[in-house]
């Protein structure tokens, strides 16, 4: 999750390697204290934390301009858990964020994770991530946000994970959910603490979105992970769901990071729509309100007569499709917008990362809305994988 504009597109690779993929280079730092409730954005049944107990009401905007309201219902008797690590959103002025949640942390939980509450108990730790301030400084080469510690984010998440296992898991299955920097940190967690160990049996799936997972060509495991393969069905467990999304008419550039193949491996893509429903139709939940640090905002008008909606989310059935693509550019999730100028509904969505000159930054694709465009598919997949896990 980034700001809407980046001043130098090719400099983004420097930050991608450290933020999206979770590279660590500094000395070890003592982790945060996760026995404190204020160290969590969401912690199971602790409703007073607030981040996962928010209004998720959605307006369904049909192609003919008709609308209906979809209420959200959080399950009260979830049999499984979800553990989420959020992307780069902190607006703190330091290299690493503090442990005080700001509007940006609350906003991204609402956009990317709170809806999982219809399937599972939700756990989302605060962590001292590398900040958006540091990302911007690195891209613009201004030298701002000094003192970045690239081990602090991982150390905090490991501590939160261990606290969750010790105090809340009680043998339950768990879905790991991450985006961008969060996916990079979870990738490290899986490699170091989970795969090949007894705890792997509790992993329903790991949804690592907006990052780069590598596999040998023609295989589902190897390269990034040794024991956890890519998910190939909605009834499979202990597997990886991953993709980075791009518009069909703005594919990733050859020198981009997302979707780029490795020397002896290819960039993995698992379509949540195909896994969940064997389709290309995307069930999007799009933000209708101005975000704190995201361009995942509403179009100028949802219909010809409705510039704004009262609900925080919109769903646009039939407007978006997505599929995994593998070619000489790499492996990525290709989204197509099927706008029709003859109908009253919007013909496009927002979500591109923009350069300072107003052009689309092709290297980042639809990174800002990776999860929004397929949120309904991800939730359906999480539900099916959880049912398969519980049936065992």
**Mean pLDDT score, 317-330:** 92
Q: Give the pLDDT band of residue 12 (cuts 50, 70, 90).
A: very low
How do residues 202-224 score in pLDDT, each as one tens digit? Answer: 999 999 999 999 999 999 999 99
**Mean pLDDT score, 135-153:** 72
Whole-number pLDDT of residue 248: 95
CA distance 221 to 231: 10
Whole-number pLDDT of residue 29: 74
Q: Is the per-residue pLDDT at 27 higher than 80?
A: no
CA distance 225 to 214: 8
How big is the chain, counted in residues? Answer: 392
**Mean pLDDT score, 310-315:** 96
Q: Is the per-residue pLDDT at 6 higher than 60?
A: no
Of 369, 347, 336, the C-alpha closest to 303 is 347
How do residues 227-260 score in pLDDT, each as one tens digit? Answer: 999 999 999 999 999 999 999 999 998 877 788 8
Please give the residue that has the higher pLDDT: either 390 or 7. Answer: 390
Whole-number pLDDT of residue 371: 97
Please give the residue that has the higher pLDDT: either 17 or 121. Answer: 121
CA distance 374 to 286: 9
CA distance 282 to 337: 10
Tokens found for residue 201: 């049996």
């Amino acid at each position: 999750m980034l700001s809407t504009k980046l001043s130098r597109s090719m400099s983004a690779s420097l930050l991608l390697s450290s933020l999206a993929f979770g590279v660590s280079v500094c000395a070890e730092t003592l982790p945060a204290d996760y026995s404190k409730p204020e160290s969590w954005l969401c912690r199971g049944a602790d409703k007073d934390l607030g981040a996962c107990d928010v209004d998720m009401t959605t307006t369904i905007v049909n192609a003919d301009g008709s609308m209906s309201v979809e209420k959200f219902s959080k399950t009260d008797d979830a049999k499984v858990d979800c553990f989420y690590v959020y992307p780069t959103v902190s607006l703190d002025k330091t290299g690493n964020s503090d442990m005080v949640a700001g509007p940006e942390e609350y906003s991204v939980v609402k956009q990317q994770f709170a809806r999982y509450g219809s399937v599972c108990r939700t756990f989302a730790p605060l962590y001292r991530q590398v900040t958006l301030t540091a990302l911007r400084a690195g891209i613009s080469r201004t030298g701002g946000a000094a003192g970045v510690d690239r081990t602090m984010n991982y150390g905090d998440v490991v501590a939160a994970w261990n606290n969750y296992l010790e105090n809340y898991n009680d043998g339950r299955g768990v879905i790991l959910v991450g985006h961008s920097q969060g996916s990079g940190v979870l990738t490290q967690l899986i490699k170091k603490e989970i795969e090949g160990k007894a705890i792997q049996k509790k992993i329903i799936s790991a949804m690592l979105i907006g990052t780069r997972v590598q596999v040998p060509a023609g295989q589902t495991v190897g390269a990034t992970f040794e024991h956890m393969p890519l998910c190939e069905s909605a009834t499979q467990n202990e597997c990886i769901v991953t993709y980075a999304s791009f518009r069909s008419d703005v594919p990733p550039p050859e020198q981009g990071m997302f979707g780029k193949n490795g020397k002896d491996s290819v960039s993995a893509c698992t379509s949540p729509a195909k896994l969940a429903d064997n389709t290309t139709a995307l069930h999007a939940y799009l933000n209708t309100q101005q975000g704190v640090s995201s361009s995942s905002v509403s179009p100028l008008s949802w219909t010809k007569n409705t510039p704004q909606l009262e609900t925080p989310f919109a769903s646009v059935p039939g407007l978006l499709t997505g599929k995994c693509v593998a070619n000489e550019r790499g492996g990525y999730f290709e989204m197509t917008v099927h706008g029709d100028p003859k109908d009253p509904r919007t013909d496009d969505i927002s979500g591109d990362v923009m350069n300072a000159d107003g052009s689309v930054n092709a290297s980042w694709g639809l990174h800002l809305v990776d999860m929004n465009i397929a949120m309904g598919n991800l939730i359906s997949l999480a539900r099916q994988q959880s049912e398969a896990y519980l049936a065992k």
